[in-house]
Amino acid sequence: MPPATRISRPVLIVVFVASSPNTVSSSYYDTFEPDIGTPGEYEGVPGNPVVPVTLRRRANATLLMLARNSDVDGAVRSVREMEDRFNSKYRYPWVFLNEQSFSDDFKRRVSVLASGPVHFGKIADDHWYQPSWINETKAKEERDKMEEEGVIYGGSLSYRNMCRFNSGFFYRHPLLQDFRYYWRVEPDVHFHCDMNFDPFVYMHENNKTYGFTITMYEYQRTIETLWSTVSDFVKEHPEYVAPNSAMNFLSDNGGNSYNLCHFWSNFEIADMDFWRGPAYTAFFNYLDLKGGFYYERWGDAPVHSIGAALFAGTDRIQFFREIGYEHNPYTHCPTEEDLWKRGRCTCDPAHSFDYDGYSCMRRWDRMEGR
């Protein structure tokens, strides 16, 4: 009897054309037939018949991780779980970014796990290190104060570099220019449920800009002047505010003050055409020149959240309740029994962070009329 052979189908590539140097208009970048059955099923093995396969559309998207070489063990765990729970079905590419060159060991250990193409990139110095207009004496004084007060990452310059990069520069990296959507994956996170749908395709077909799983309050001490800066920007540029903005998620008094709610950006699935667009570009540049990323500790989570809520609007933000996700110490676990079973979830719905006292999920529900 001849050895069993794995049946693979050809990939049909569809070329996309960018509408401008700053935006990508393609919805889908290819259509493909996945391998017959599931991994381990072969033609000619009893109990594993050849079955018809449906063409799958795959969005113009990538999985994205910012990591250092020292994060390799955590990166391996995250890549493995993402592949097992989702990407082995779709084979999306991965992009890894680092402010230093990736080591051969890092490349080897993550590449062997990826089902799609893998790209490694170094971040340009002017996208990572603090800009020339920052008064380092003043910035260091503020870092020292925060460290004395016990503010998390209060004394860290590298953390501030990361927050600024994630807020306004990652989507400008050359490796991301041909992609429209990204899914941010952190080292050492967990994906607890099988994902039986493609969130990238869902985002496009439903005109969604930003997707989240966890929402919470920001630490006031780190963003003391952020909201006043946002308010000044909105007064100068009211044309950028969406008619159906999610202001009521961010503020309890029509925008006079910030209630500190934001989407936890270590998980986000989003449309980079929005970040590259005129509203968010003007918004980020305005914030950047104020220096709050260094004089305070403005995080990319409130910056992205405020930008999406105000300039994209409520109906373009998606809560992915089906996706079981954990970034220690918080977990989103589907609480609907059918979703939990369908996803073969390993998390405990009773321990989901959704309606914890520090979560903003109730505010989001109220704003959506639930």
Q: Are 250 and 258 in contact (CB under 8 A)?
A: yes
205 counts as catalytic:
no
DSSP 211: E
Please choose, from the candidates 296, 294, 278, 302, the residue with its C-alpha nearest in 3D space to the C-alpha of residue 131. Answer: 294
Show Cβ contacts of residue 140 under 8 Å, excluding neighbours closer than 6 positions: none
SS3 of 276, please? helix
Q: How far is 282 from 232, CA to CA, in rounded Å?
A: 13
Contacts of 351 (CB under 8 A, 6+ apart): 331, 333
| Structure-token pair, residue 157 | 């310059």
Indicate if the alpha-carbon torsion angle 324, 186, 75, 58 is positive or negative. positive
> Which residue out of 81, 83, 268, 322 is catalytically annotated?
268
Write the DSSP string, 75-121: HHHHHHHHHHHTGGGT---EEEEESSPPPHHHHHHHHTT-SS-EEEE
Cβ atoms of 198 and 55 within 8 Å: the answer is no
Catalytic residues: 268
